[in-house]
Structure 1
């Protein structure tokens, strides 16, 4: 069985930390799924829904520009 590391905003790879911090701010916690996907900041960015702070339209998150 595969084992996965579950990261949080303090120990995730540097490129994933802003996305996890944003998720924690938005939801109050980091989900286990997001914690596992933080291993790949590109995957996390591609699957993280976000909204622009000034509109309700969706925005695209990238490792360098998180939600």
Structure 2
């Protein structure tokens, strides 16, 4: 096998590894963003309403 062929194969392998790593990082970041969005939506949904604060202070709710 010539040196050029070895260099080409090595370059293709490294390019494949770089693409796979980039895809994995982007996929993980997207999953993290989706999880953060779900957590924020849950926190906003479960948070007490600011309008209810006077009622809670008065013991009405």
Q: TM-score range by the shorter chain?
A: under 0.3
TM-score (norm 1): 0.21
Higher Rg of the two aligned structures: 2
TM-score (norm 2): 0.23
Q: Which has the higher contact order (CA 8 A, sep 6+)?
A: 1
